[in-house]
Amino acid sequence: MSDNLAKDEKDFALIDRIIAGDQVACRILIDRHKSYAFTIAKRILINSQEAEEAAQDAFIKAIQSLRKFNRESKFSTWLYRIAFNTAVSYKRKQKIVPDSLDDYKLGQLGESGNAETLLDQERHAYLMQAMNNLLPDDVTMLTLFYLKEFSLEEIEQITGIAANTAKVKVYRARKRLAAELQKILKNEVKTLL
Partner 1 sequence: MKHYNEEELFSYIDGTCDSQSALQLERHLVDCPHCNELYETLLSVDSQLQLLPKEKPSAHFTSAIMEKLYVDPRHSVPFSFTYYTRYFLIFGLVVSVISLFISLFSIGIVNDGVLQHIGLNTYLFENISNTIIAFFKTGSFINIMLGVSTLLLLVLLDKAVLNPFFNKRSQKIVW
Q: With respect to partner 1, which residue has the nearer C-beta, 106 or 147?
A: 147
CB of residue 3 to partner 1, shortest distance in Å: 18
| Contact criterion met (CB below 8 Å) for 162 and 156 | yes
CB of 171 to partner 1, least distance (A): 5
Angle, helices 48-64 vs 23-45, to 10°: value is: 140
User: Would you tell me which residues interact with partner 1 (CB under 8 A)?
Assistant: 16, 18-21, 23, 26-27, 30-31, 34-36, 38-39, 42-43, 51-52, 55-56, 59-60, 63-64, 66-67, 123-124, 127, 142-143, 146-147, 168, 170-171, 174-175, 177-178, 181-182, 189-190, 193
Tell me how far, at minimum, the Cβ of 21 lies from partner 1, in Å.
5
Min dist. Cβ of residue 52 to partner 1 (A): 5
Q: Which residue number, 6 or 178, has a Cβ lying nearer to partner 1?
A: 178
Whether residue 29 contacts residue 15, with contact meaning beta carbons closer than 8 Å, is answered with yes
Q: Give least dist CB 5 to partner 1, A.
A: 22
- Whether 165 and 172 have beta carbons less than 8 Å apart is answered as no
Q: How many residues does the chain have?
A: 193
